[in-house]
Amino acid sequence: DRYGRGEAPRLARDMALPAIRFPNEVVIRVHAASLNPLDLSMRSGYGATALNMKRDPLKLNSADSEFPLTLGRDASGEVMECGLSVSYFKPGDKVWTAIPPWKQGTLSEFVVASGNEVSFKPKCLSHTEAASLPYVGLTAWSAINKVGGLNKENCAGKRVLILGASGGVGTFAIQLVKAWGAHVTAVCSNDASPLVKKLGADDVIDYRSGNLEEQLKALPLFDFILDNVGGSTEKWALDLLKKWSGATYVTLVTPFLVNMDRLGVADGMLRTGVTIGSKTVKHLCKGVHYRWAFFMPSGPYLDEIAELVESGKIHPVIDQVFSFSEVPEAFLKLEGGHARGKTVINVIDKQ
């Protein structure tokens, strides 16, 4: 009902059943959902300016139209109802999805999604396992494939560096580029190194054991860097790329929504455009590509991820599972950081 920290989320027992408003939508009964760092940020009001503009571009509703706001982006569950133009799904189908942040989320018994945001759940996964993958999978897919340009045809033998490798996006990204034949260097804390090695990382660097920049500079140069950390790493990480070879640095830590919250829509978009433009040109002159990436909701991309899961190349990495009544505790767990995969919520007990 309001933005805040630990006390902000509450269980609402009298929410209306979500209704189909457009013919391409489906209602999903949620069996399991999961938490992402974005949920922590949205709980505190991050991105509210841009997201409210997307929710209500003509400002037809009151200023507080986003409340009550349901968090949660991932869902695995069962189709309950389909809009008139939905032909791929029918009631009873087992599906998974990642809902964009301007829509009501998945920490709920029912959620509405567009048909093109939904995909058939891999049969080899339980709902609990499946709920851990869509948001991080699509975020990594966006960064590596759509923005970074890597795919199963051109990735073999490429040297890939993943900063922040033990979280949800990092653990997925390791498996994805390994499935495509890359050589992976993963940066994480020492206690996470067994996990990332098990996922296929060729080299593991402990960021706590000495100067990370110096450790990485001692290695051969990279073709691709995925940065889940941001901050000061951006100042030196691009020097680790091969020059004039099409090497690309992609960061998932961008000031886009922060700028709009702080400066308003028009000035925020202008500031963001100037920032990305100047950084892109500056690094292009040095022979490397600089890019920002964002989560993209997509049923077709989830179909491709499902194929990799079914073939055994991608496995869910789950840190801890909570029941629906334990969502506040799950948020506390996520706040603690140092994730080893995903925090999953069993919305209904039967899996």
Q: Are residues 208 and 321 in the same domain?
A: no
Q: Is pLDDT of 8 > 70?
A: no
The pLDDT of 199-207, averaged and rounded, is: 96
pLDDT at position 257 is 76
Q: Kindly state whether residue 142 falls inside one of the protein's structural domains.
A: no
**Which residues neighbour 198 within 8 Å (Cβ) at sequence distance 6 or greater?**
none
Amino acid at site 209: S
Q: Are residues 65 and 160 in the same domain?
A: no
The CA–CA distances, whole Å, from 231 to 164, 188, 208 equal 12, 15, 16
Across all residues in the chain, what is the average pLDDT?
93
Domain count for the chain: 2
pLDDT at position 351 is 45
Helix (H) or strand (E) holding 30: strand 25-35
Q: Kindly state whether residue 109 falls inside one of the protein's structural domains.
A: yes
Residue ranges of the alpha helices (H) in the chain?
37-43, 48-55, 127-130, 134-141, 168-179, 193-199, 212-217, 233-237, 256-263, 265-284, 299-310, 327-335
Q: Are residues 154 and 84 in the same domain?
A: no
Tokens of 66: 């986003």
Tokens of 259: 């700028």
Q: Are residues 163 and 200 in the same domain?
A: yes
The CATH code of the domain that includes 81 is 3.90.180.10
| % of the chain beyond a pLDDT of 70 | 97
For residue 112, the tally of other CB atoms under 10 A from its CB is: 21
For residue 92, the tally of other CB atoms under 10 A from its CB is: 8
Q: What is d(CA 72, CA 86) in angstroms, rounded to the nearest whole number?
A: 24
Q: Kindly state whether residue 299 falls inside one of the protein's structural domains.
A: no
Q: Are residues 257 and 334 in the same domain?
A: no
Give 166's Cβ-side CA count (13 Å radius): 20
Helix (H) or strand (E) holding 165: none
The CA–CA distances, whole Å, from 165 to 73, 280, 327, 338, 342 equal 21, 24, 25, 10, 13
* pLDDT band, residue 6 (cuts 50/70/90): low
Tokens of 235: 């100042």
Q: Kindly state whether residue 95 falls inside one of the protein's structural domains.
A: yes
Q: What is d(CA 161, CA 187) in angstroms, rounded to the nearest whole number?
A: 8
Q: What is d(CA 218, CA 210) in angstroms, rounded to the nearest whole number?
A: 13
Amino acid at site 120: F
Tokens of 144: 């590596």
pLDDT at position 55 is 85
Domain around 337: 25-133+317-346
Q: Are residues 32 and 76 in the same domain?
A: yes
* 277-306 per-position pLDDT tens digit: 999 998 999 999 999 999 999 999 999 999
Q: Is pLDDT of 2 > 50?
A: yes
Q: Kindly state whether residue 10 falls inside one of the protein's structural domains.
A: no
Q: What is d(CA 302, CA 5) in angstroms, rounded to the nearest whole number?
A: 32
pLDDT at position 307 is 98
The CATH code of the domain that includes 171 is 3.40.50.720
The CA–CA distances, whole Å, from 220 to 76, 184, 212, 287 equal 41, 12, 15, 17
pLDDT at position 256 is 81
* 293-349 per-position pLDDT tens digit: 999 999 999 999 999 999 999 999 999 999 999 999 999 999 987 778 899 999 996
Report phi then psi at 90, rounded to 5: -140, 160
pTM flag (> 0.85): yes
* 235-283 per-position pLDDT tens digit: 999 999 999 999 999 999 998 877 788 888 788 888 888 898 999 998 9
Q: Are residues 88 and 159 in the same domain?
A: no
* 120-165 per-position pLDDT tens digit: 999 999 999 999 999 999 999 999 999 999 999 999 999 999 999 9
Q: Are residues 272 and 219 in the same domain?
A: yes
